[in-house]
């Protein structure tokens, strides 16, 4: 093709057709420019397609992480919240003289349940988000609102993790010190340990721990609800972006 163009230019110059030569030269330049633009357009299309594929892969992975966060909160906190609160309120009512139990062992185990999720150990999934940041590919997420939502969500998780440090009330250690936990036998408690436990239930120290644990339960629940609501909102934004 280049050889053909060269021969045409040479023929026009030999025939002294300057005007035609200039027109041809302009046309040739135009064709070259068009070719370059087409090549750039194809390259840009390929790059855009690759970025879109990467974006979708990351968004699907983020969606999975968010769903696991929601599931973790429901499984470990929200599904156990009502029973935990009921157990702690029973302990308060017994201290105040407003509750009578029929089975000592059942009563002790009920109070022991009051310590579930009392150590505030968050286990959020951050692998995809950290990978986006560490690889510098966060900007491949096209939608500005979605990027802002992702940042807000993981900032919330960081705040919760920091706020959960050293929040244990002492309720778990106190009840475990009175009611030894044996992995092979979580139901039976010796008569000696039962008497020791019951001798400490109506103490002011235990009552204060009941109140602290109850406050902590409501605090953890509110944080889990906030995380789940934020995660669900972010999932909707991700789904909208994936459909584009």
Q: Are 240 and 148 in contact (CB under 8 A)?
A: no
Tens of pLDDT, residue by residue over 138-194, are 888 888 999 999 999 999 999 888 877 668 999 999 998 887 666 566 667 888 888
Q: Is this prediction's pTM over 0.85?
A: no
143: left (phi over 0), alpha (psi -120 to 50) or beta: beta
- Mean pLDDT score across all residues of the chain: 83
User: CA 188, CA 138: separation in Å to the nearest integer?
Assistant: 54
pLDDT score for 156 = 94
Distance separating alpha carbons of residues 86 and 108, to the nearest angstrom:
13
- Residue in this structure with the two tokens 């110059």, named with its chain if needed: 13
Tens of pLDDT, residues 99-141? 999 999 889 989 999 999 998 778 899 999 999 989 888 888 8
Helix and strand tally (H, E) in the chain? 9, 0
- Give residue 169's pLDDT: 94
Q: How confident is the model at residue 61 (pLDDT cuts 50, 70, 90)?
A: very high
Report the C-alpha gap between 226 and 13 in whole angstroms.
Answer: 79
């Amino acid at each position: 093709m280049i050889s053909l163009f060269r021969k045409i230019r040479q023929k026009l110059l030999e025939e002294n057709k300057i005007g035609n030569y200039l027109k041809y030269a302009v046309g040739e330049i135009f064709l070259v420019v068009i070719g370059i633009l087409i090549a750039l357009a194809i390259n840009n299309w390929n790059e855009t397609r690759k970025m879109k594929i990467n974006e979708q892969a990351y968004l699907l992975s983020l969606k999975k992480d968010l769903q696991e966060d929601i599931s973790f909160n429901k499984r470990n906190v929200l599904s156990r919240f009502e029973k935990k609160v009921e157990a702690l309120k029973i302990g308060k009512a017994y201290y105040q003289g407003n509750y009578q139990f029929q089975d000592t062992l059942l009563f002790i185990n009920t109070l022991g349940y009051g310590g579930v999720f009392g150590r505030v150990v968050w286990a959020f999934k951050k692998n995809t988000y950290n990978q986006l940041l560490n690889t510098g590919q966060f900007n491949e997420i096209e939608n500005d609102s979605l990027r802002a939502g992702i940042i807000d969500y993981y900032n919330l998780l960081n705040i919760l993790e920091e706020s959960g440090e050293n929040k244990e009330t002492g309720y778990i250690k106190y009840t475990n010190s009175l009611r030894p936990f044996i992995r092979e036998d979580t139901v039976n408690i010796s008569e000696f340990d039962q008497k020791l436990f019951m001798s400490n239930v109506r103490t002011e120290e235990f009552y204060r721990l009941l109140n602290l644990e109850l406050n902590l339960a409501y605090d953890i629940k509110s944080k889990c609800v906030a995380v789940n609501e934020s995660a669900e909102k972010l999932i909707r934004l991700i789904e909208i972006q994936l459909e584009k």
